[in-house]
Amino acid sequence: MIIQPIIDLVAICARKDVKNAILSPGSRCAPLTLAFARHPDIHCRTISDERSAAFVALGMAQQLKKPVVLVCSSGTAALNYAPAIAEAFFQQIPLIVITADRPPEWIDQWDGQTIRQRNLYGQHIKQSFDFPDHSEHKDVIWHAHRISNEAINTAANFPEGPVHINIPIREPFYPESEEAFDFYRPVPLVNPLKSDTSLSSESKVKFQNELERFNKIVIVPGQQAPDKGVMVLLDQLVSAKKVIVVSDTISNMQSENTITYHDQMLPVVDHANFSPDLIISFGKSIISKSLKNFLRSSGADHWHVQPAGYSPDTYQGLTKIIPSTAKDILELLLQSPHKIDNDFQARWHLADKSMEKAIKKLMEKENFGEWKAIYRVLQQLPHQSKLHLANSMAVRYVNFLGARPQEIICNRGTSGIDGSNSTSVGCALTTKDYVTLITGDMAFFYDRNAFWNNYTTNNLRIILLNNHAGGIFRIIKGPSQQPELEEFFETTQSLNAANLAKDFDFDYTSVKTEKELMNGLTNFYHPSIRPKIIEVFSDSAKNTAILSRVKSALKEFIDI
C-alpha cells in the first residue's frame, strides 16, 4: 500500500511550482516513482545512471532557476548523487534529493541494498530530513507535511542549494490495481514571503563616506548567471570613471568596458602600477589563478556583497561583508561622488587592449592545436546560444580569449570533470537555443553515460578536444617535470568518439587540421534531428608548446 504522505509530498511539490523530476529506476523507490510519474503537472524523465541523473538535474535547475527533484532507490544509488550535490551546494543551485531507504530497524543488519543514509551528504547539503516510515497517527502525517514544505522552501531560499529527504519505505512497494492516487486532497502549504535585503539609510551613508578613502577601486564579479541590469550598471560605473571591472568569462559580466584579458596581462605587467586599494566582489568563484594571486598580494581592502550566507575570504583581505544585492550596491556606487585615479584606469584599459590585439594577432598565425580550434569555434558560435565548458583546459582557454556574448556555464563549484556532459544535457532539455559543450577527452569519456537516455537533445553541439591525455598536467610545473607524467598524471588513453556517436545516434565529424575544422563548422549550427560532435585530434606536447609560445610572446606587446 502506498502511504498517503508520499503522495502528498508530490502534490506539495507541484503546488509550490516544482514541476520537473529526474527519476532513476529501482524497486524500493517505486512508490515515489509512481507518485511523481502519475502527477499530471510534473514532467518526469528517467535516467538510469544516478551520477549522470544528478548532473542532468543540476543543469536543468541552473537554467530554470527553480528546484528540480531527484529520486533514486536505496544503497549506493544514493551515493552516486554526491558529486552533483556538492557542485550544486557550492554553485547554490536548488535540488530536492529524495532517496528511498530501508526501514530503520533493518539498517546495519546485512540486509540487501542497505547503507547508512541518514545525513548521507554531510556538509555538502543545505539540510537533511528524515521522513516518517508510517502514517498511523495524525501527528506523523502532520510531521511529513511539515518536512515536505520545509525542504522545498529551504532549497529555494537564498542561498539556494540542495536538500535531502530520506524516506524509509516498507513493502509492499506497488499499489493494487484499484488503488487510486489522490493528489488533490487538502494539504497544508507553507509559503515564505520573499523580501529584498537592503542597507538602511544610515548604512548607505556610512558606505559612501568610507568610499572616499579609496581611488583605485576594482570590482571583481564571480561566477553567476547573466543579469542585464547589473551589466548595465557596471558599464555605467566604468564610463563614469568610478571603478575598474575585471571579469572572468564565467562571471557572465563581460563587455567592451570590462577588463577581460587579465589572465594574460597580469603575468607580464608591473603589479605595483596595477594594484587596487579596494576590491568589491559579488557572485561566487573566479577561474584566473593569476588574478587571485594578484589580488591576494595587493594588500587591498576587500568588501564582498551578497544578501545572506557565509562569505569566503578568497583574496585574504576581507574587511567588510555587505548584506545586499549587487544591483543596490552598484547603484549606490554610481550615486557616490568619488572618482577613480585617471592614470590607474588608463593603465588597466591600455594593457587590456594591448593584450586583445596581441592575442588575436598571435592566434591568427599560430599552428593548429586545441587552443586554435577553440579560437575558431568561438568565431562561429551563434550569439543567442549557451556555452558549456568542461573543467581543466577548456574553460581556461576560453577565459584566455576574452569577452563572450553567450551565456557561459561551467561546473566551478567543485571544478570537477565528472559531470560536464550531463550538465550540458540538462541545459539542452530546458531550451531551444543551441547548447555547445567544449570539453577535453578525459572529461568527455568519464561522463559518457550522459547520453544514455531516451530524450531528444538535437540542439546539443559538442566540440571534443582529444589529445589522448589529460593535457593540463603537462602545463603544471610539478607533474610536467616527473618521469611518471604520461602514465600516472596525463593517463594516456587511445579512445575516440566515433563508436559513442554511433551508439547514441550523434552526427560525427573527425578533424585533424584547421581546414577540416572550418569545413566541419560550415553546417554545425544548422538545424538537425540529432546532436552533433566534432572531435578535434591534437598532440598534447604540441598544445603545451603553443600555449608556452603565445604566453612568452605577449611580453613584447606590453609597454606599461
443-501 pLDDT, tens digit per residue, is 999 999 999 999 999 999 999 999 987 556 666 666 666 776 666 666 777 899 999 99
Domain range annotation of the chain: 4-168, 201-354, 366-554
Give the pLDDT of residue 477: 66
Give the pLDDT of residue 475: 63
Give the pLDDT of residue 153: 97
Distance separating alpha carbons of residues 14 and 527, to the nearest angstrom = 34
Beta-strand (E) ranges in 171-328? 217-221, 244-245, 278-282, 301-305, 318-322
Q: Do the first three CATH levels of 4-168 and 201-354 match, i.e. the same topology? A: yes
Give the pLDDT of residue 53: 98
CATH no. for 201-354 = 3.40.50.1220
Fold of 366-554: Rossmann fold (3.40.50)
Give the pLDDT of residue 332: 95
Give the pLDDT of residue 474: 62
Give the pLDDT of residue 173: 78
| Bridge partners, residue 400, by sequence | none
For residues 289 and 266, the answer to whether their CB atoms sit within 8 Å is: no
Grid cell, residue 32, equals 515515489
Enumerate the H helices of 401-539 as residue ranges. 420-428, 441-446, 472-475, 477-480, 498-504, 514-521
Give the pLDDT of residue 471: 56
Give the pLDDT of residue 58: 98
DSSP state at residue 104? G
| Residues whose CB is less than 8 angstroms from the CB of residue 133 and which lie 6 or more positions away in sequence, other chains included | 103, 104, 167, 168, 169, 170
Give the pLDDT of residue 136: 82
Grid cell, residue 63, equals 537554467
Rg value, the chain, Cα? 25
For residues 124 and 116, the answer to whether their CB atoms sit within 8 Å is: no
Give the pLDDT of residue 271: 94
Using 70 as the pLDDT threshold, list the residues of the chain that sit under it: 1-2, 470-481, 484-490, 559-560
Residue found under cell 572618482: 339
Preceding omega of 172 cis (within 30 degrees of 0): yes
Give the pLDDT of residue 68: 98
Distance separating alpha carbons of residues 5 and 13, to the nearest angstrom = 12
Q: How many Cα atoms occupy the beta-carbon half-sphere of 147 within 13 Å?
A: 26
Domain 4-168 indexed as CATH 3.40.309.10: no
For residues 245 and 186, the answer to whether their CB atoms sit within 8 Å is: no
SS3 496: coil
Element (H, E) at 72: strand 68-72
Distance separating alpha carbons of residues 548 and 352, to the nearest angstrom = 20
Grid cell, residue 189, equals 502549504
Element (H, E) at 537: strand 532-537
